Copies of this chain bind each other. A is one copy, B any other.
Amino acid sequence: MGTEDRKQRERQAREQLFIDKAHELIRTDGLLALQMSKLAAACEYATGTLYQHFASKEDLLAAVATRTTIQHAERFRRLPELPLGTRSQMLAIVLTDLDFAAANPDHYRLMQYLLTEAVWAQISQERREALLTAAQPISDAVSGVVERARENGDLPPPKEISAEEMGLGPWALNLGMQNLANARGLLEAYDIGQPLDHLIRHFHALMTGWRWEPRVDPDEPSVVRAETERVRAVLQETFQ
């Protein structure tokens, strides 16, 4: 059934168009300003057509987040081949995440919004799973680094903590810092600038606290900076 296939493809293409356009509109006008009718108009379709693809506005947003997450996850696929020790690979993950957040300032905000219980509940089971699945490679990358570190002795043998649970630390630290950095006026009120620079130092403290070798002292700014530069250079080189 060739015509069936074509229709399917066209449908897929249209969904992609909707998602792309929505992403674009969010980028330019902000999450707040996104309206289903405006989006439909921008795509030159009727409002109702949107609802043949997305059960609700939240569903659409989840789809946008999923697409971005897939792109993000792509960056982690080749992580293990980096010529870096496991600890530096972990730093590479954090830096990649930071760069991604800088390049996609809306993504974390969108994720924060979607993961809010009130909003999360509005998203269809299907889309929720798709979003979680899209993020899986990121989690896998983290767990993978932890496992390799344990295998080759960079990290002491685990005591009542799985690789996933180990990865939870930097994940939470990252997420929390992004949240704080995104809340306009919050950190400024407490006289804190450059939260993301501090994130890296706290990250090293966390890793060093777990005795992840080779240790980097968070309290030596020059050492921290040098390590950041080194890993950044390798990332640059490998991913062009």
Contacts and interface: CB of A to CB of B under 8 A. Distances in A.
Interface of A: 30-32, 109, 112-113, 115-118, 120-121, 128, 132, 136, 139, 156, 158-162, 164-165, 168-169, 171-177, 179-180, 182-186, 189-192, 195, 198-199, 201-202, 204-211, 218-221
Each complex incorporates copies of this chain amounting to 2
A185 to B, nearest CB: 7
A186 B31 contact: no
A189 B116 contact: no
Nearest to A202: B169
B121 A116 contact: no
A200 to B, nearest CB: 11
A185 B180 CA distance: 23
Contacts of A31: 117-118
A148 B132 CA distance: 43
Could you tell me the dominant secondary structure of chain A's interface residues?
A: helix
20 contacts: A109-B118, A113-B118, A115-B182, A120-B185, A162-B192, A165-B192, A165-B198, A168-B180, A168-B195, A169-B205, A172-B173, A173-B173, A173-B206, A202-B206, A205-B205, A205-B206, A205-B209, A208-B209, A209-B210, A209-B218
Contacts of A185: 120, 128, 132
A79 to B, nearest CB: 18
A125 to B, nearest CB: 9
A206 B64 CA distance: 34
Which of A180, A206, A209 is packed against the most chain B CB atoms within 10 Å? A209
A185 B207 CA distance: 27
A220 B168 contact: no
A57 to B, nearest CB: 13
